[in-house]
Amino acid sequence: MGIEEVLCAPRSPWQNALCERVIGTRRRDGLDHVIIFNERHLLRVLRQLVDYYHNDRTHLGLDKDCPVHRTVEPPEDGPIREIPILGGLHHRYTRKAA
Protein backbone atom coordinates (compact mmCIF):
# COMPACT_ATOMS: atom_id res chain seq x y z
CA MET A 1 0.00 0.00 0.00
CA GLY A 2 2.99 2.31 0.24
CA ILE A 3 2.31 3.44 3.81
CA GLU A 4 5.39 4.37 5.82
CA GLU A 5 5.57 4.80 9.58
CA VAL A 6 6.75 8.25 10.70
CA LEU A 7 8.18 8.43 14.22
CA CYS A 8 7.94 11.59 16.27
CA ALA A 9 10.76 12.82 18.44
CA PRO A 10 10.54 12.00 22.17
CA ARG A 11 9.04 14.74 24.36
CA SER A 12 7.77 16.62 21.30
CA PRO A 13 4.00 17.01 21.67
CA TRP A 14 3.76 19.30 18.62
CA GLN A 15 4.72 16.29 16.50
CA ASN A 16 2.05 14.05 18.04
CA ALA A 17 -1.44 15.05 16.90
CA LEU A 18 -3.29 13.21 19.68
CA CYS A 19 -1.16 14.71 22.43
CA GLU A 20 -1.43 18.16 20.85
CA ARG A 21 -5.22 17.83 20.73
CA VAL A 22 -5.43 16.94 24.45
CA ILE A 23 -3.11 19.76 25.49
CA GLY A 24 -4.93 22.30 23.31
CA THR A 25 -8.38 21.25 24.52
CA ARG A 26 -7.40 21.53 28.18
CA ARG A 27 -5.82 24.90 27.56
CA ARG A 28 -8.75 26.32 25.55
CA ASP A 29 -11.55 24.87 27.71
CA GLY A 30 -10.13 25.91 31.05
CA LEU A 31 -6.64 27.15 31.58
CA ASP A 32 -6.98 30.19 29.31
CA HIS A 33 -9.83 31.43 31.51
CA VAL A 34 -8.53 30.68 35.02
CA ILE A 35 -5.73 32.29 37.02
CA ILE A 36 -3.71 29.48 38.59
CA PHE A 37 -2.30 30.28 42.04
CA ASN A 38 -0.16 27.21 42.81
CA GLU A 39 0.44 23.59 41.87
CA ARG A 40 -2.39 22.26 44.05
CA HIS A 41 -4.84 24.65 42.43
CA LEU A 42 -3.61 23.61 38.94
CA LEU A 43 -4.13 19.93 39.75
CA ARG A 44 -7.65 20.60 41.06
CA VAL A 45 -8.57 22.56 37.92
CA LEU A 46 -7.12 19.83 35.66
CA ARG A 47 -9.11 17.14 37.54
CA GLN A 48 -12.30 19.15 37.09
CA LEU A 49 -11.51 19.63 33.39
CA VAL A 50 -11.01 15.88 32.90
CA ASP A 51 -14.29 15.15 34.68
CA TYR A 52 -16.06 17.76 32.53
CA TYR A 53 -14.44 16.39 29.35
CA HIS A 54 -15.61 12.82 29.99
CA ASN A 55 -18.97 13.42 31.66
CA ASP A 56 -20.43 16.63 30.21
CA ARG A 57 -18.63 17.96 27.12
CA THR A 58 -20.12 16.93 23.79
CA HIS A 59 -17.86 15.42 21.14
CA LEU A 60 -18.53 15.67 17.41
CA GLY A 61 -16.86 12.29 16.81
CA LEU A 62 -19.43 10.70 19.15
CA ASP A 63 -22.44 12.31 17.39
CA LYS A 64 -22.52 15.11 19.99
CA ASP A 65 -22.55 12.70 22.91
CA CYS A 66 -20.20 12.46 25.91
CA PRO A 67 -17.72 9.60 26.36
CA VAL A 68 -19.75 8.63 29.45
CA HIS A 69 -23.19 8.28 27.87
CA ARG A 70 -26.14 10.04 29.52
CA THR A 71 -29.73 9.10 28.80
CA VAL A 72 -32.12 11.66 27.37
CA GLU A 73 -34.29 13.18 30.09
CA PRO A 74 -37.89 13.74 28.93
CA PRO A 75 -39.74 17.00 29.76
CA GLU A 76 -41.90 15.10 32.25
CA ASP A 77 -38.86 14.87 34.55
CA GLY A 78 -39.24 18.54 35.46
CA PRO A 79 -37.71 21.91 34.57
CA ILE A 80 -34.15 22.28 33.32
CA ARG A 81 -31.54 23.03 35.98
CA GLU A 82 -27.99 24.23 35.35
CA ILE A 83 -25.04 23.01 37.40
CA PRO A 84 -21.95 25.25 37.23
CA ILE A 85 -18.60 23.58 36.58
CA LEU A 86 -15.22 25.23 37.17
CA GLY A 87 -16.80 28.15 39.00
CA GLY A 88 -19.38 28.77 36.25
CA LEU A 89 -16.97 28.64 33.30
CA HIS A 90 -18.92 25.65 31.95
CA HIS A 91 -22.34 24.26 32.85
CA ARG A 92 -24.11 20.91 32.91
CA TYR A 93 -27.83 20.93 32.19
CA THR A 94 -30.13 18.35 33.73
CA ARG A 95 -33.79 18.11 34.64
CA LYS A 96 -34.82 18.72 38.23
CA ALA A 97 -37.04 16.01 39.65
CA ALA A 98 -40.54 17.39 40.30
Domain boundaries, the chain: 13-72
Q: Assess whether pLDDT exceeds 70 at residue 98.
A: no
- 5-38: pLDDT as tens digits: 888 888 776 778 887 888 888 898 889 998 999 9
The confidence score (pLDDT) of residue 7 equals 83
DSSP codes joined into one string, the chain: ------PPPTT-GGG-HHHHHHHHHHHHHTGGGS---SHHHHHHHHHHHHHHHHHT--BGGGTSB-SS--PPPPGGG-SEEEEEETTTTEEEEEEPP-
